[in-house]
Amino acid sequence: MMRNYDIDELRRLDVAHHLPPQADFAEIVALGGSRVITRAQGVYIEDGEGLRILDAMAGLWCVQVGYGRRELADAAHAQMLELPYYNGFFKTATPPAITLAAKVAELTGYRLPHVFFSNSGSEAVDTAMRMVRRYWDLKGEPGRTQFIARTNGYHGTTIGSMSLGGMARMHAQGPHLPGISHVRQPYGFGEAEGLDDAAFVAVLAQDLEDRIAAVGAHNIAAFVAEPVQGAGGVIIPPAGYWDAIVPIVRRHGILLVMDEVICGFGRLGAWFGHQHFGISPDIITMAKGISSGYLPISATAVTAEIAETLRTGGEFAHGYTYSGHPVAAAVALANIAIMEREGLVARVADDLGPYLAAALARLKPQTFVGEVRSIGLLGAVEIVADKATGRRFGPEPGTAGPIVRDAAIARGVMVRAVGDKLVMCPPLIISHAEIDLIIDRLELAFADATPALLALGGAPA
Ligand code: PXG
C-alpha cells in the first residue's frame, strides 16, 4: 500500500497550521515548509521529493529495530482489537502493562524491579523527580529537595525535566524549577584543556564535591545524569569518570538517577548504559528504544528499597491517562522480543560497535575533523576550523555543523548537528555495508562543504 501525497499542498499546510517541535518557526516558514518524510524501510527514510536517505539517527535516537517491522504493526493491531485502551487508576491494569513491567525488571537483572510507565522521556524524568521527593519525605528527610545535574545534559522539555537539563539555549527560555544546579560535563575534546584522562576526571570529581559542599549534602535529593550524554553531542566520559563520580554520590547519601532514554535498549552494547559502565543506580528512566519509537511509551524503574518506601506512604499522587497504555506496551514487548531473538544487544557490543569505530576513523584525515569518537552505536565527529591548532569555528558553536549536516542530507545520509559536532545513532539492525555508506557519504559531504567552510574562516589543508 503506497500512498501518494500532494507534497506541495502538505508543505503549504505545514506553514499555515503546524508548529513543529524544537524548531525555529520562522526558518520553517522561510523554507516554505518542512521536509516531509513519507515512508521508511530498514535503515532508510524517504522524503516527499523521493530522496532516499540512510537514517544514521534512527529517527531521533530511537528506531532500534529499523523501520517497517510487520511484527510491531501486528502487535498493535491485535491489541487494538482486543483492548485498545484501559487505565491504571481504578486499581486496574492491563496484561501488556504488567508483562512489560516484568520484562523491564528482568532486563535490569532485577536490580530495578519496579516499573512506572509514562509516555515520553520527559515524563519519565519528571516521574523520577517526583518519586525522589516523595521518597525523602517518607524517609523523614524532607530537607533533601535539591537536584544536581550536569551542564549540557539533556533530560527533556517539560518544566521539570528541562530544568534538570543543562543546555544554556533551552534554559534561556524558562520557566525553571528552583533547587537545581549543574556540575561540569565530562567533555574531554572540548573542555579538558590538555589534561590527561586521570587529571580531567580529578577536576570533574572535585567540581562535584565542591557543589555538594556548597548546597549541603543533607539538602540534596539526587544526582541525575545520562550514562553518555546524547543530545549534548555524544559526550563519552573519559576512563575512570563513573568510578570517581559514583562513590562521591554514595558517600553523601544522594540518590543516583541515570537517564537511559538514549543509552537504554542496546545502544552501548548492553541493555542499559549503566550496565555497560558497571554502575548500580537507584532509579533509571527509559523511552525511545523501548518501543523503537513505533509508539510513545516510557518508564521509570526503581530499586526494591525505593518501591518499598513509596509503599509506606499511601497514594503516590502522580500518573498519566496513558500510563502503561496497552497498545504501546504490547508494541514495546514485541520490540524487545525482536531485539532478543536477533541478538541485537550482543551484536552492538561484539560487532557493530567496533565496526562503527573503525569506519569513523576513516574521517580522521579530513581537513576539518578534529576528533571522531564512538561508543557502541553512538558516534560523533568534531568539526574544527584549524586542525593544527584545534581552533573552532565561531564566534559561537553551530556555524559549521549545520553546513556539513545539510550537505550530508543532500548526499543521502541523515545525521544531526549539535553545534559543530555531527552525531549519529544508527538502527541496531544496520549492516557493515550501510555503516560504510554513512562514512562514504560523510566524506562527500565534507568535500561539498569545503568551500563554505573555507569562506567561514577554515584553514586550508
Ligand atoms: N532524556 C534524554 C537522555 C533524552 O535524550 C529525553 C530525556 C526526553 O525524551 P522525550 O521523549 O520527552 O523527548 C531525551 C530526548 C536532540 C534531541 O536534539 C534529543 C532528544 C529529544 C529531542 C531532540 O538530539 N532526547
- In tens, the pLDDT along 177-209 reads 999 999 999 999 999 999 999 999 999 999 999
| Terminal CA-CA length for the chain | 50
Residue 171's SS3 state is helix
- Total count of residues recorded for the chain: 461
Separation between Cα atoms, residue 321 and residue 85, nearest integer Å: 10
138 lies in some domain: yes
Our mutation pick for probing the ligand 1 site, out of 61, 118, 129, 272, counting the most ligand atoms within 8 A of Cβ, is 61
So what's the pLDDT on residue 10? Answer: 98
Written as nine digits, the cell of 124 is: 519519565
Ligand 1 near 257 CB (within 6 A):
no
85 lies in some domain: yes
- In tens, the pLDDT along 255-293 reads 999 999 999 999 999 999 999 999 999 999 999 999 999
174 has a pLDDT exceeding 90: no
- In tens, the pLDDT along 400-457 reads 999 999 999 999 999 999 999 999 999 999 999 999 999 999 999 999 999 999 999 9
Element (H, E) at 256: strand 255-259
pTM score of the predicted model: 0.98
Residue ending a domain, among 295, 326, 341, is 341
Domain of 397, in residue numbers: 35-65+343-455
Which CATH number does the domain housing residue 436 bear?
3.90.1150.10
* Burial grade of 422 (CB within 10 A; 0-12, 13-18, 19 or more): buried
Judgement on whether residues 337 and 348 belong to the same structural domain of the protein: no
Section 116-129 average pLDDT? 98
Written as nine digits, the cell of 363 is: 574521517
* Burial grade of 47 (CB within 10 A; 0-12, 13-18, 19 or more): middle
Judgement on whether residues 281 and 415 belong to the same structural domain of the protein: no
Ligand 1 near 287 CB (within 6 A):
yes
Band of pLDDT at residue 1, cut at 50, 70 and 90:
low
Separation between Cα atoms, residue 403 and residue 385, nearest integer Å: 13
Which CATH number does the domain housing residue 113 bear?
3.40.640.10
- In the chain, the number of structural domains is 2
Judgement on whether residues 388 and 427 belong to the same structural domain of the protein: yes
3 lies in some domain: no
170 has a pLDDT exceeding 80: no
- In tens, the pLDDT along 355-410 reads 999 999 999 999 999 999 999 999 999 999 999 999 999 999 999 999 999 999 99
CA of 439 to the centre of ligand 1 (A): 25
Ligand 1 near 225 CB (within 6 A):
no
So what's the pLDDT on residue 2? Answer: 74
User: b/e for 184-195, b at 16 or more Cβ within 10 A?
Assistant: bbbbbbbbbeee
* Burial grade of 21 (CB within 10 A; 0-12, 13-18, 19 or more): exposed
Ligand 1 near 155 CB (within 6 A):
yes
Residue ending a domain, among 341, 372, 391, is 341
Q: Report the mean per-residue pLDDT for the chain.
A: 97
- In tens, the pLDDT along 149-165 reads 999 999 999 999 999 99
Q: If we measure between CA atoms, which residue out of 132, 125, 214 comes closest to residue 163?
A: 125
Residue percentage of the chain with pLDDT more than 90: 97
Separation between Cα atoms, residue 335 and residue 339, nearest integer Å: 6
Residue 2's SS3 state is coil
CA of 155 to the centre of ligand 1 (A): 6
50 has a pLDDT exceeding 70: yes
